Amino acid sequence: MILVVIEWRANQPRWVQIAAVIKQRIDGGVYAVDEQVPSEHQIVQEFGVARGTARKVLVRLREEGIVYAVRGLGNFVADPTADHQ
């Protein structure tokens, strides 16, 4: 396991900063549409944050329509071109 080192900005919550990292990875093609993004546990391990912080990251990404959840399977990259009505 590789621990990602982030220079935390005091004026922004860590969960916001981690969500931005995952969004950058999606935009950069690290995670493709319908591909699974890191789980809460993986976020905890990678970024060295509490589980509640990891949960906030995933909630934020779902609220923004960047990922969608599949019960029992995890969170996946949403298709930005799909009609979400």
Task: State the pLDDT at residue 85.
Answer: 45
Flag whether 7 is in a domain. Answer: no
17-48, pLDDT tens digit by residue? 999 999 999 999 999 999 999 999 999 999 99
Count of domains in the chain?
A: 1
The CATH number assigned to the domain holding 29 equals 1.10.10.10
User: Residue 35's closest CA among 71, 78, 64?
Assistant: 78
Q: Is the pLDDT of residue 5 over 80?
A: no
Could you tell me the pTM of the whole model?
0.84
The conformation of residue 21, written as its DSSP 8-state character, comes to H
Flag whether 82 is in a domain. Answer: no
Write the single-letter amino acid at 12: Q
Q: Is the pLDDT of residue 9 over 80?
A: no
CA–CA separation, 37 vs 2, rounded Å? 16
Task: State the pLDDT at residue 8.
Answer: 73
Query: What are the start-end ranges of the E strands in the chain?
Result: 67-70, 74-77
Q: Is the pLDDT of residue 1 over 50?
A: no
